[in-house]
Amino acid sequence: MRRLLLLIIPLLLLIVSVSCRKDFDYALGRGNLRFSKDTVFLDTVFTNIGSATYTLKVYNTSNKDIAIPFVGLAKGEQSAYRLNVDGRAGKTFANIPLLAKDSLYVFIETTFDISNLSQNEFLYTDSLIFGADGKEQTVQLVTLVKDAVFLYPSRLTDGTKETIPLGFDEEGNEIRVEGFYLKDEQLRFKQEKPYVIYGYATVAEGKTLTIDAGARIHFHKDSGILVQEGGSMQVNGLPSENEEIKENEVIFEGDRLEPVYADIAGLWGAIWLAEGSIDNRIEHTTIKNGTVGILVEGNTNDPEPKLRLRNVQVLNSSSVNLWAVNTAVQAENLVLGNAGFSSLYCQLGGTYDFKHATIANYWDDGFRGGPAVLIDNFIETPSNATGTDLVAATFTNCIIDGNKNIELLLKKNDLYEFRYAFTNCLITFNDVNGQYLANSLFDFQDIEHYQNILLNANAEFMAPAQNNFLIGEGSEAIDAGDVDTALSVPFDIRGVDRTQSPDVGAYEYVLEN
């Protein structure tokens, strides 16, 4: 028994000593707490859209256990910030325990309504206070809040949201998606404020959506733009003076502005140009972080291109950057970057003409199922293969590259005509296993289909994993372009003259690269 008491008594004393918390005033002098940062920038958010959660770490640098008498926001319950301290949500807290040489996390979020203010941008600030009675320490909180034009479906009387029809499934059931028709006064997107879209903003028959230079369009999750039969979309971006700001370029992206979301694919749905839409044109534009950047549908009997692209980048789609189905696309100075499946998918035939395109897929966010460029003239069904003529697919002065051995794949059904031509192109096709040796589609000595090909050459991109496809001084694309084609597209995607000794791809090499 005596031996047992000798063991229990020290244990009880230890428990008593650990459970005794000293008062903050007594245990800590001024400045004894240390913080992971002295200012928390919550980055830019749109009005009435919640921010991401930001973290502040608080350290007790003393040798004593303490209870912090007060942790909270200077504006108290009126603050637009929200806190979670030691697992508790709120805006003010009392007697927060913190062990010697230990730390705790403070999580911070905000939602701010700018509608009652006159300016389009507002810098909202508050302070996070630790301590009391003249021994306070503070951490500043700063958020830039932007006003925006919000476009969204109406809520119906039964509580559901407005939807739009997409067609019918194989059983004849109508397919609908959450969305709304743009009213006449909504059919011009201007530069003054960014646009935030919920659901699919739909351009109806006989209507044209016009997007001005410098406009910024942001999509919520599973949202996008749909141009229906007889509708049109005209994106009128212009060259910019500042490559960083891109003040005249049109940008389509998700509605989360925090840097952590800058390179996350699949944040929104697609720009969907449905069969029967007409005269769609996109210039000086960046489209990024969608599921499908552009989906364009049509038929090969269209007399004019369904979609014209000029000085356009489509980047970081979780599926396909440009998905063209039985349609006609004309493009120059086009960059199709990293994507979860293919950068370019031309399916079920069509007419395609690409000049000075850089199509390169260095996707590194998991397995990628497709090559950078996939072209076929049929679609597999459970019973057979159906398709149409691939009237023409021409690539001139283009780069087709990526981090796989084979980045160009042509799939032909002999029942349908298949025409294609690659001229002065850099193509990555390293058939290490010899699986395509007997396939005439990949006979790179066949001058009817391949001329002046740089096979498995070094493009030497600056930072392809980050969608930076500027070429370096060692690139074999330099001076390898067809001059006549370059004269028809005399400036590269940044406005650099390429008429003297044109490079292959969308970018002309300059020393500043």
pLDDT tens digits for range 481-491: 999 999 999 99
Give domain status of residue 310, yes or no.
yes
**Domain hosting residue 156, numbered range:** 149-488
pLDDT exceeds 90 at position 397 = yes
For residue 391, the model assigns a pLDDT of 61
Q: Which residue has the higher pLDDT, 512 or 269?
A: 269
Q: Which residue has the higher pLDDT, 158 or 183?
A: 183
For residue 27, the model assigns a pLDDT of 52
Q: Which of 192-201, 234-243, 374-383, 455-464 has the lowest mean pLDDT?
A: 374-383
Q: Are residues 106 and 230 in the same domain?
A: no
pLDDT exceeds 70 at position 6 = no
pLDDT band for position 155 (50/70/90)? confident
Q: Are residues 383 and 452 in the same domain?
A: yes
Q: Are residues 169 and 132 in the same domain?
A: no
- The stretch 352-380 carries a mean pLDDT of 93
Give domain status of residue 391, yes or no.
yes
For residue 20, the model assigns a pLDDT of 42
Give domain status of residue 513, yes or no.
no
pLDDT exceeds 60 at position 224 = yes
List the structure tokens of 167. 């067609």
Q: Are residues 171 and 116 in the same domain?
A: no
Q: What is the domain-level CATH number for residue 99?
A: 2.60.40.10
- The mean pLDDT of the chain is 90
pLDDT band for position 364 (50/70/90)? very high
- Return the top range by mean pLDDT from 31-35, 162-166, 169-173, 286-290: 286-290
CA distance 347 to 149: 36
pTM metric for this prediction: 0.85
For residue 5, the model assigns a pLDDT of 43
Give domain status of residue 176, yes or no.
yes
Q: Are residues 111 and 217 in the same domain?
A: no
For residue 226, the model assigns a pLDDT of 98
Taking alpha carbons only, the member of 34, 32, 16 closest to residue 24 is: 32
Q: Are residues 116 and 184 in the same domain?
A: no
Q: Are residues 133 and 166 in the same domain?
A: no
pLDDT band for position 31 (50/70/90)? low
**Full DSSP string of 293-335:** EEEEE--TT-SS-SEEEEEEEEE-BSSEEEEEEEEEEEEEEEE
pLDDT exceeds 50 at position 279 = yes
Give domain status of residue 121, yes or no.
yes
pLDDT exceeds 50 at position 24 = no
Q: Are residues 54 and 194 in the same domain?
A: no
For residue 415, the model assigns a pLDDT of 78
Q: Which of 32-41, 327-336, 474-483 has the lowest mean pLDDT?
A: 32-41
Q: Are residues 105 and 139 in the same domain?
A: yes
Q: How many domains does the chain have?
A: 2
- The stretch 485-503 carries a mean pLDDT of 97
Q: Which residue has the higher pLDDT, 490 or 135?
A: 490
CA distance 134 to 203: 61
Q: Are residues 299 and 225 in the same domain?
A: yes
pLDDT exceeds 80 at position 117 = no
pLDDT exceeds 90 at position 16 = no
Give domain status of residue 20, yes or no.
no
For 409-427, how does the pLDDT look when each residue is reduced to its tens digit (9 = 90+)?
Answer: 999 888 778 899 999 999 9
Give domain status of residue 7, yes or no.
no
User: Given its phi and psi angles, is residue 172 left (phi above 0), alpha (psi -120 to 50 degrees) or beta?
Assistant: left
Q: Which of 161-165, 346-350, 381-385 has the lowest mean pLDDT?
A: 381-385
For residue 389, the model assigns a pLDDT of 58
List the structure tokens of 455. 């096979």
- The residue type at 372: A
**DSSP helix/strand/coil, 372:** coil
Give domain status of residue 380, yes or no.
yes
- The residue type at 41: F
pLDDT exceeds 60 at position 12 = no
Task: Report, in angstroms and rounded to the nearest whole number, the Rg of the chain calculated over CA atoms.
Answer: 29
Q: Which of 171-180, 217-226, 472-481 has the lowest mean pLDDT?
A: 171-180
Domain boundary among 108, 127, 146: 146
For 331-348, how does the pLDDT look when each residue is reduced to its tens digit (9 = 90+)?
Answer: 999 999 999 999 999 998
Q: Which residue has the higher pLDDT, 22 or 368?
A: 368
For residue 393, the model assigns a pLDDT of 94
CA distance 335 to 359: 6
pLDDT band for position 303 (50/70/90)? low
The share of the chain scoring above pLDDT 70, in percent, equals 90
pLDDT exceeds 50 at position 3 = no
Domain boundary among 118, 146, 174: 146
CA distance 261 to 170: 37
Q: Are residues 163 and 312 in the same domain?
A: yes
For 163-194, how does the pLDDT look when each residue is reduced to its tens digit (9 = 90+)?
Answer: 998 877 778 888 888 999 999 999 999 999 99
Q: Are residues 124 and 160 in the same domain?
A: no
pLDDT exceeds 80 at position 367 = yes
pLDDT band for position 50 (50/70/90)? confident
For residue 331, the model assigns a pLDDT of 98
pLDDT exceeds 80 at position 238 = yes
**Full DSSP string of 32-74:** -EEES-SEEEEEEEETTSPPPPEEEEEEE-SSS-EEEEEEEET
For residue 227, the model assigns a pLDDT of 98
